[in-house]
Amino acid sequence: MKVVQVETLYCDAGWRPWIFLKATTDDGAVGWAEITDSHGSPHGLAGIVQDLAPNVVGRDPRAVERIVWDLFRATRQSPGSVIQKAIGGIENALLDLKAKALGVPVYELFGGPTRDTVEVYWSHCGTTRARAWEVTKTPKLASYDDVTALGREVVERGFRAFKTNIVVPGEEPQVLMPGFQGDGLDRNPSSELEEALVRLIEAFAAGTGGKAEPIVDLNFNLTAEGVLRIARALSRQGLMWLEVDAFDPVSLGAIRAAAAMPVCSGENLYTNRGFRPFFEAAAMDVASVDVIWNGFHQAKKIADLAETFEVNCAPHNYYSHLATFISAQWCAAVPNVRILEVDVDDVPWREELTTRVPQIDDGVLTIPTAPGWGAEVNEEVLEAHPWS
């Protein structure tokens, strides 16, 4: 078995692309991975994969770790970021090939399953209905009454936790992202913003009746001072955790020490080297590990390191169903998993894009047992929804 082609495929997913990596061997076997990048350089990923392909083509895909280390060495002067996302995708596609060749799920390559199911939470709950309701064909978040109705829907659909962002409902609903392009430079919350977030969570609580725990994701939107102000404002709202992205482990550790609720972080970090200083600074209660960006085995190494610091892990997963299958298998292989993130509101054709869809009942996902990831990409559906 030799790899003969590594290629990148795109699909229009409404408010962002879904990006896939396909590795084909000389005997016609196909390994799949997802490498979706919505914020950095989605066009650039194809170029990186093309640049890295000579390190993979012509080789036996079953020597996964050797190939990954060759890719690390080839890109040592440019570690992390979209380079790592491409490497992670190559790793995952090779693992899919290897597991299929052996007729086993990928988690069997890493000691077998530690669990058969995993609890999931509804991600971007309200966020999608504020910024992408038209493309997802879901109700617009036009008022706080709509937020309360969404809270009822969370419970009715069996979820016991949900995550939202800095959302302000209205006729023109907003998702505030001051730490990103488009919302200016001011990363310090006003008293009006604090009040709006409290009102948002209270509206959700009126709908959930306390039967689903809220998560608030602040991303890179605020300074450390701003995060602490929000933490104080939300201290009585019963958060499962406050999610924060940060470049400095010491400042994040100070936030965790002062916050009344658990702190989750790490979705922007790569490999165990990236996570280690944050663990050493006691900067997070829950490590958000992106399995498709790090690669399955590298993400497993992060979880193993987190275990030595008594830190739980939760996959960062807001992609297509293929990524959910990958993250679910990682949850099977990792003992210290807290919960799995999934997007619920998405483009209507998502259910057709993969050969199987995740089985989620009463907020619990059944981990697949089919060979490889348990699902493949339907290329006809992908081609029907091109992205450029």
Across 268-281, average pLDDT: 97
Q: Write out pLDDT tens, residues 17-28.
A: 999 999 999 999
Confidence of residue 69 (pLDDT cuts 50, 70, 90): very high
Using DSSP's 3-state secondary structure scheme, residue 158 falls into: coil
Residue 296: CA count within 13 A, CB half-sphere: 33
- The number of angstroms, rounded, from the C-alpha of 221 to the middle of its chain's C-alpha atoms is 18
Interacting residues of 197 by C-beta distance below 8 A, sequence separation 6+: 166, 216, 230, 233, 234
Give CATH 3.20.20.120 domain extents, the chain: 110-373
* Residue 9, helix vs strand vs coil: strand
What one-character-per-residue DSSP string does 359-373 give?
Answer: EEETTEEEPP-SSBT
CATH 3.30.390.10: which residues of the chain? 3-103
Amino acid at 338: R
Predicted pLDDT of residue 19? 98
* Distance, CA of 388 to CA of 376 (rounded, Å): 22
Average pLDDT over residues 327-334: 98
Digit-coded pLDDT (tens) for 215-239: 999 999 999 999 999 999 999 999 9
Q: What is the CATH number of domain 110-373?
A: 3.20.20.120
Instruction: Kindly report the CATH number that applies to the domain delimited by 3-103.
Output: 3.30.390.10
What distance separates the 2 farthest-apart alpha carbons in the chain?
62
Q: What CA–CA distance (Å, rounded) separates 313 from 210?
A: 24
Interval 202-211: pLDDT, tens: 999 999 999 9
Residue with token string 């993400």: 299
Cross-strand pairs, 286 = 264, 312
Q: Alpha carbon of 179 to those of 184, 187, 189, 219, 226: distances in Å?
A: 8, 6, 11, 8, 12
Burial of 278-312, coded b for 16+ CB within 10 Å and e otherwise, reads bbebbbbbbbbbbbbbbbbbbbbbbbebbeeeebb
